[in-house]
Amino acid sequence: MGFTGLSRRERQIMEVIYQRGKASAAEVREAIDDAPSYSAVRAMLRVLEEKGHLKHQADGVKYVYVPTLNPEKAKRSAVKHLLDTLFSESPEQVVAALLDVSSKRLTRAELERMAAMIENAKKEGK
């Protein structure tokens, strides 16, 4: 599953819900810049539920929406989609793009942790 096949607004809604863990229609609307109407947000939440991305829980008189896919699986799905569609299935190109875009923001500690992950992957691959 993941964010493939979703409209821009649907992706925005899913991002809000993944960041918060759960959210009502009003909370989703408040979190989106230039948000559509409350009824439009509710309609999109219903569509996302029909598509299998969300489920709702009753919280008093309102519904609270939660993702059906845990955040770690969603992240892996999004990265796999990027890898398959934009980077010719080349993890090296993904890392190069990440370093190019983020090089000014990555701290030394973050770079060292990434280097350690690569070293661990090398050891596991042998």
Give a yes or no: residue 81 inside a domain.
no
Give the 3-state secondary structure of residue 61: coil
As a whole number, mean pLDDT of residues 41-52 equals: 95
Give a yes or no: residue 3 inside a domain.
no
What's the whole-model pTM score? Answer: 0.65
Give a yes or no: residue 77 inside a domain.
no
- Amino acid (one-letter) located at 32: I
pLDDT over 70 (residue 4): no
Give a yes or no: residue 58 inside a domain.
yes
Residue-range definition of the domain harbouring residue 114 = 87-125
Structure tokens at 85: 């569609």
Give a yes or no: residue 48 inside a domain.
yes
Q: Judge if 51 and 91 occupy the same domain.
A: no
Higher-pLDDT residue of 124, 17: 17
Taking CA atoms, 77 is separated from 33, 58, 73, 84, in Å, by 26, 28, 6, 10
Give a yes or no: residue 25 inside a domain.
yes
Give a yes or no: residue 73 inside a domain.
no
Q: How many domains does the chain have?
A: 2
Q: Judge if 54 and 91 occupy the same domain.
A: no
Confidence of residue 43 (pLDDT cuts 50, 70, 90): very high
- Confidence at residue 2, expressed as pLDDT on a 0 to 100 scale: 58
The string of pLDDT tens digits covering residues 58-105 is: 999 999 999 998 878 877 877 787 788 888 878 888 888 877 776 567
Give a yes or no: residue 92 inside a domain.
yes
Q: Judge if 19 and 52 occupy the same domain.
A: yes
